[in-house]
């Protein structure tokens, strides 16, 4: 494991990986910008690289900003998500070069949010970009809106260098799988249907029992729910990935996680959905729900202050609009 800080941060990450089920060094938000909101004091304040296994490396940006990962094989490197700017993506590439001189062969975009996509140009060409067809379509139709949205939630961010680089290989349909073989390694790329977005991908490494989840799951973090593609689909997806033979889940933001974290996250989604729906059904106003629903059980989670009220408002609109 390498990191720009020392001392307590190193100890924290050693402890984290031990808790995930094995010693260090490989022995068994979309709404966030470059530096996500602090809600977890264990999140690194500096750019940090965590060695999840002998070949899987997690690149964490400060305080819960977007994650990227890279997997090293004898035939080249597979990158999962490319961060929010080319400048950050070049830092990722510099970390890859500390590990291997082999070329980056593939970049997999787990979903459409720009903080996981805007660094694609650093790798492609020559690397192939893999995404769901809905992500490619999103950037053909909504690219200006995506730039405006990213600037609105990340004031001061410099996107002038970004050249949107679309997927060259896509998965299609509502449920599909692509199996990638590279250097004797198997990468199972799954689309389980609409959930957080319509193009969520999950990358499973069966040999190491590692799964990359994108933003469909983030450990001890509250996501924005007002524009989810499918609540029911999101829960089904969490059930599916929770039932798979996975040892470590690598999320789109924050620390690696375990099956217990998946279950807790699912419970959080259900809690918001159930309480707001119940309020709408009994005729409560949105103002009443904003006043009475606190979800204090999640007060220690990242993004609590940021998204509790926004989620109540967003879910209220969804339920109130239904006949």
Model confidence pLDDT, tens digit, residues 79-113: 999 999 999 999 999 999 999 999 999 999 999 99
> What's the pLDDT band for 51 if we cut at 50, 70, 90?
very high
| Predicted confidence (pLDDT) at residue 16 exceeds the cutoff of 80 | no
Are the beta carbons of 196 and 216 closer than 8 angstroms? yes
The pLDDT of residue 41: 76
pLDDT score, position 146: 92
pLDDT given at position 154: 86
> pLDDT at residue 29 above 70?
no
Tokens in use for 60? 């964490």
Q: Which residue has the higher pLDDT, 14 or 262?
A: 262
What is the reported pTM?
Answer: 0.86
Mean of pLDDT values over 142-162:
92
pLDDT tens-place string over residues 211-257:
999 999 999 999 989 889 999 999 999 999 999 999 999 999 999 99
Kindly state the average pLDDT of the residues 119-143: 97
Q: What is the pLDDT of residue 153?
A: 83
Task: Please answer whether residues 44 and 14 qualify as being in contact, where contact means their C-beta atoms are separated by less than 8 angstroms.
Answer: no
Q: Which two tokens stand for residue 264?
A: 């807790």
Ranking 42-51, 162-171, 259-268 by mean pLDDT, the lowest is: 42-51
Q: Structural domain boundaries of the chain?
A: 2-263
One DSSP character per residue, 267-298 reads HHHHHHHHHHHHHHHTT--HHHHHHH---GGG
CA distances from 248 to 25, 60, 71, 101 (A): 14, 16, 14, 26
Q: Which fold has domain 2-263?
A: Metallo-beta-lactamase; Chain A (3.60.15)
pLDDT bin (cut points 50, 70, 90) of residue 323 is low
What pLDDT does residue 39 have?
55
Q: How many residues does the chain have?
A: 323
Q: pLDDT above 90 covers what percent of the chain?
A: 79
Cβ-proximal residues to 107 (8 Å cutoff; 6+ apart), any chain: 78, 79, 80, 81, 82, 120, 123, 124, 127, 128, 129, 130
Q: How far is CA 79 from the centre of its chain?
A: 13
Q: How much is the pLDDT for 25?
A: 30
Residue 264's pLDDT is: 97
Greatest pairwise CA separation for the chain in angstroms: 62
Residue 36 has a pLDDT of 42
CA distances from 134 to 178, 224, 253 (A): 15, 20, 22
Q: Quickly list DSSP for 105-130.
A: EEEE--SS-GGGTTTGGGTTTTSEEE
Contacts of 53 (CB under 8 A, 6+ apart): 26, 208, 210, 248
Higher pLDDT, 286 or 2: 286
Distances (CA, A) of 207 to 64, 160, 238, 273, 281: 28, 40, 21, 36, 47
């Amino acid at each position: 494991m390498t990191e720009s800080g020392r001392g307590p941060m190193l100890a924290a990450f050693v402890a984290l990986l031990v808790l995930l089920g094995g010693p260090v060094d490989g022995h068994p938000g979309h709404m966030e910008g470059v530096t996500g909101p602090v809600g977890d004091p264990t999140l690194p304040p500096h750019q940090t690289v965590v060695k999840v296994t002998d070949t899987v490396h997690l690149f964490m940006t400060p305080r819960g900003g977007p994650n990227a990962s890279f997997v090293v094989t004898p035939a080249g490197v597979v990158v999962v998500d490319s961060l929010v700017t080319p400048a950050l993506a070049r830092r990722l590439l510099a970390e890859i070069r500390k590990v291997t001189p082999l070329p980056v062969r593939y970049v997999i975009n787990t979903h459409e949010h720009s903080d996981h996509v805007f660094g694609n140009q650093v790798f492609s060409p020559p690397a192939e970009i893999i995404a769901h067809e809905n992500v490619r379509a999103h950037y053909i139709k909504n690219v200006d809106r995506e730039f405006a949205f990213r600037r609105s939630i990340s004031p001061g961010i410099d996107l002038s260098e970004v050249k949107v680089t679309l997927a060259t290989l896509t998965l299609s349909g509502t449920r599909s799988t692509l199996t990638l073989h590279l250097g004797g390694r198997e990468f199972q790329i799954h689309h389980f249907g609409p959930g957080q977005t319509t193009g969520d991908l999950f990358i499973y490494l069966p040999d190491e029992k590692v799964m990359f989840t994108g933003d469909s799951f983030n450990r001890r973090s509250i996501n924005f729910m007002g524009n989810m593609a499918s609540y029911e689909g999101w829960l089904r997806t969490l059930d599916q990935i929770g039932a798979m033979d996975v040892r470590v889940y690598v999320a789109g933001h924050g620390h690696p996680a375990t099956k217990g974290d998946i279950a807790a996250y699912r419970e959080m989604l259900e809690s918001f959905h159930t309480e707001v729906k119940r309020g709408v059904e009994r005729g409560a106003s949105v103002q009443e729900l904003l006043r009475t629903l606190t979800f204090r059980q999640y007060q220690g989670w990242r993004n609590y202050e940021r998204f509790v009220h926004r989620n109540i408002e967003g879910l209220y609109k969804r339920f109130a609009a239904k006949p």
